[in-house]
């Protein structure tokens, strides 16, 4: 998927207004990346495919009435801020690094995202009930379930972008957790996958 295809992917599913809003956000990420290491410099020319569509593709994997979405270790806002920009549901960005929190708040303000908030803390200290929990490049699935299970209710779904080792991570998580694990192919990269977990309980 090239950059034009990525913008068309967003436009087809979420409309021209979403493209305009996300273009502002992409510009903010690129500018801020000169001051702090938000994303790899090599991926800045590919921000629409590598980061924006890679984030937006998670939304259709959630139910339409998922309630609140918690994005753990959101970093530059991927996937959480992108989700907040294309849905009206509540989105909570959880990020322990102060400078990134400051950037995320400025992006929320610039885009006027009334549904999106950011918490300067670690996942273990968050107190909320989340219908969806996402995390991108934060930790392995087993550790992530451990740090976020207190946020879950019986209907919670974890939607986790992963690399080529996703099946191995699922097998490891299955040793400690009951539940349903499903692996989807990413639309942006043939070597990337998305792990969807539901009905999770500790063995």
Annotated binding site for S-adenosyl-L-methionine: 73, 78, 123-124, 136
What residue numbers does the annotated binding site cover? 73, 78, 123-124, 136
What's the chain's Rg over C-alpha atoms?
16
3-state SS of 168-181 is HHHHHHHCCEEEEE
* Residues forming a β-bridge with 158: 133, 197
Strand 193-202 relative to strand 116-120, pairing: unpaired
The tokens describing 201, both together, are 């309980």
As a whole number of angstroms, the distance between CA 195 and CA 203 comes to 19
As a whole number of angstroms, the distance between CA 34 and CA 91 comes to 27
Would you call 202 helix, strand, or coil by DSSP?
strand
């Amino acid at each position: 998927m090239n950059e034009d295809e990525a913008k068309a992917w967003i436009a087809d599913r979420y409309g021209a207004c979403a493209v305009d809003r996300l273009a502002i956000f992409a510009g903010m990420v690129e500018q801020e990346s000169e001051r702090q290491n938000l994303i790899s410099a090599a991926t800045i020319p590919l921000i629409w495919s590598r980061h924006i569509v890679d984030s937006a593709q998670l939304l259709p994997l959630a139910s339409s009435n998922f309630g609140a979405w918690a994005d753990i270790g959101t970093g530059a806002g991927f996937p959480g801020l992108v989700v907040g920009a294309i849905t009206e549901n509540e989105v909570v960005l959880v990020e322990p690094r102060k400078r990134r929190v400051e950037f995320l708040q400025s992006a929320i303000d610039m885009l006027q995202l009334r549904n999106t908030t950011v918490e300067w803390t670690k996942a273990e200290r968050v107190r909320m009930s989340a219908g969806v929990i996402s995390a991108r490049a934060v930790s392995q699935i087993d550790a992530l379930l451990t740090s976020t299970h207190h946020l879950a209710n019986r209907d919670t779904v974890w939607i986790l972008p992963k690399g080529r080792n996703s099946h191995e991570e699922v097998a490891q998580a299955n040793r400690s957790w009951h539940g349903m694990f499903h692996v989807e192919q990413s639309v942006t990269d043939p070597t990337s996958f998305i792990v969807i977990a539901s009905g999770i309980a500790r063995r």
